[in-house]
Structures are given as C-alpha cells and as structure tokens.
Amino acid sequence: MAYFEKRSANTYKIVVSMGYDSNGKHRRVSKTVKLPENMSESKRQKELNTLCVLFQQEVENGLYLDGGKITFAEFTDKWLTDYAKKNLAPTTLVSYKIVLNRILPALGHITLSKLQPHHLIQFYNSLDEEGARLDGRFTPTKALIKYLEPLTISHIIKTTGISSKTCRRLKTGMATNYNTAQ
C-alpha cells in the first residue's frame, strides 16, 4: 500500500510498503516528489493519489530502482535478467557479458547515483595500461602501424590470410580480435 507524507511546503515523500523481510523488518521504498506551488488543495490531493498509485505499480512490477542504493553490478544483473535475455540475440548477449566482465570489477561497486564521468574516464584511461585489456581485443602498436604502412592490402592478405577489412583496420590503428592478432 502506498501513502504520502508532507516534507515541506510543496515536497512530499511517497512510501510503498513491501511487507516484511525474513528478519521481521518492515520493508519500505520511498521517493520524494515536488509539486508546483500554484496547485489548489484538491488538485494537490488528486495528483498525490495518482503519484502514489503509479509509484506502487512501478515498485510491484520491479520497474523502480533506487539509484542511491543499487550498485552498477546489481543494476546490470537486473538488466541482463529482465531485459537482455528477453530482447537481445544470443550472440549479442554473450558479447555484452564479455564486456561487462571487464567493466564490473572496476565500476560494479559504485552506486548508480554516485557514478560520475570521472569514474568512466579513469576506467577508459586504465585500458591503455599494459595487460589491462582482457576483453579479447588487440589494438596495434605504433611500431606495427609503421611496419604495415608501406605494405599494400593485397600483400598483407596474401602473407597473413586475413580479410581486407581487417587489414584496413590494422593499418589505421583500429582494434581487432585477439585470434586475428595472433
């Protein structure tokens, strides 16, 4: 059951009771809403009742995630279960899981509300460190790019057996998979 509490002049806390946990502790989920100042009392009551019903539906349907309490790892688990497995092709799902296995050790412990751009920048910068890329990708070194520069695509294809698309990617410094790099 949902209800609301007045917090300040136009601010209300909507609370949804979710029963009790295994230890007998009352479980509640809440969010704060702010209504416009110029609302009449009857419109305010109707709006709050509507917001209570909508919030209760979100909570009951598992659509509400509190960004202040859920970590990035918990969110990705929920996303994989509730969305990805139902809506993505199996090969896409596998590739997403591979990427997440690299990201989660670095960022998984951070709550969604605290995840900031500097966390992402720090993570991206860490990928440049030697041995940091564990996702099966290989980025050509400057020395390899310089070595490939005078060679023609057809020569590289004949000597390596890799596709022209991969040759072009390597010559321009773009990543390829680890097996091709071998």
DSSP 94-142: HHHHHHHHHHHHHHTTSBTTT--HHHHHHHHHHTTSTT---SSEE---H
Which pLDDT belongs to residue 46? 93
Domain membership of residue 167 (yes or no) is: yes
146 and 98 inside one domain: no
Domain membership of residue 39 (yes or no) is: yes
Where does a domain end: 36, 60, 84?
Answer: 60
**Most confident of the following: 117-121, 135-139, 174-178:** 117-121
54 and 87 inside one domain: no
This prediction has a pTM of: 0.46
Domain membership of residue 131 (yes or no) is: no
Count of the separate structural domains present in the chain: 3
Higher pLDDT, 139 or 55: 55
106 and 146 inside one domain: no
Which residues span the domain enclosing 15?
2-60
26 — phi, psi (to 5°)? -70, 125
**Most confident of the following: 44-48, 73-77, 120-124:** 44-48
